[in-house]
Amino acid sequence: MKCNPDSDFGGAASTPTARPRPRCIAILGPTCSWKSDVAVEVAETLGGEIISCDSMQVYRGLDIGTAKPDLRTRNRVRHHFIDILDIHAPFSAGVFSEEVERVLADLNSRGRPGVLVGGTGLYARAVIYGLSNRPGDWRISQEVWAEHGSPGGPERLRTELATAAPGHAALTEPNPRRLMRAVAVLRMTGHAPTSEQPSDRPNIPKPGFAQWVILPTMDVLRERIANRTRAMLAAGWIEETQRLVQAGLLDTPTAKQALGYRDIADYIKRPHSERSLEELLTVLCRRTTAYARRQRTWFRHQHPGSRTIEVSDAATTSADLAKTIRRELQTIQPHPA
């Protein structure tokens, strides 16, 4: 296990005395990187509360497949942004960032730090660095979301975007949220969005944030992903998906984006002789591994000022990682709040 400090969070390392506590400690990384367990241990030590930074765990009903913390863990340390929305409801990085600021203000007024933990990169950036200067209008975003969910809505939105920007990447992107975001920006500005340039993104953390990125090697992640996926299937992921299918909830933009649920729904619909459970496991592991690889790339490049903890030993424990973070908290000083 190796820790690579990129910065001192805005100030030189100070003496052990008179060191202010960060208002928020961020523990980030790809899926299956110990971060949730590490965050609980750190939060308990500091008397903090968990701020879940996962765009799918906010939704009720997506439990096993999103590796949502169980009730025992949530009773051990208070968690925010778990099970706060029905699966039909829209949510965004901008709204999340605003709500997190309200939670942090409350926690800090009570002398408690927030412990931000998760792997949704855009949400984490929005909280820690702020969003780019792109325009936003919650009302228009809601209108686009509602239109997408109406009969023929996705086709109308694609036509609208294709008319303004033929060949736009969102037209063929399987993630429906990117189509909706592109149309929303088009309606707000009259121009389809282009990819953000690095200069569009704020690269200085907001005051009071200290952040760690846990980056296991891909070999370690593959092993952990395979073990967890087996455990999730054994815990009832297929049955959970069946309930969502029966309720018609897998047709929402949110559920379509949730990793693995569509593959399980496809497995349920086919005769099991055509696709074995072992084949399903292989598909789920492959998709999750590809997602973890993208997350590793994101967190390597999108979080300047973070400290990276590289992990090459699968025997590493959450206690080891939490100890590293607690030790480094004694030697660094974040931006003043």
Residue 311 token pair: 């992990």
Kindly report the CATH class assigned to 2-133+199-329: alpha beta
Gap between the Cα atoms of 308 and 298, Å rounded? 13
Q: Considering just the CA atoms, what is the radius of gyration of the chain in Å?
A: 21
Contact 14, 336 (CB under 8 A): no
Task: Kindly report, residue by residue over 257-271, the tens digit of the pLDDT.
Answer: 899 999 999 999 887
Gap between the Cα atoms of 291 and 48, Å rounded? 29
Q: Which residue has the higher pLDDT, 337 or 112?
A: 112
pLDDT at 273: 59
- Cross-strand pairs, 210: 25
Nearest to 68 by CA among 59, 216, 77, 221: 59
Q: Are strands 209-216 and 79-80 parallel, antiparallel or unpaired?
A: unpaired
Contact 157, 179 (CB under 8 A): yes
pLDDT at 8: 41
Per-residue pLDDT band for 20 (boundaries 50, 70, 90) equals: low
Q: Taking all residues of the chain, what is their mean pLDDT, rounded to a whole number? A: 87
Contact 252, 88 (CB under 8 A): yes
Nearest to 62 by CA among 80, 79, 87: 87
Q: What's the pTM?
A: 0.79
In this structure, of 23-37, 134-148, 247-261, 302-316, the range with the lowest mean pLDDT score is: 134-148
Contact 100, 67 (CB under 8 A): no
Nearest to 58 by CA among 101, 118, 115: 118
**Neighbour tally for 124: CB within 10 Å:** 28
pLDDT at 139: 62
**Neighbour tally for 283: CB within 10 Å:** 16
Tell me the mean pLDDT in the region 149-168.
89
- Amino acid, res. 276: S
Counting Cα atoms < 13 Å in the Cβ hemisphere of 3 gives 16
- Domain ranges, ordered by start, for the chain: 2-133+199-329, 138-195
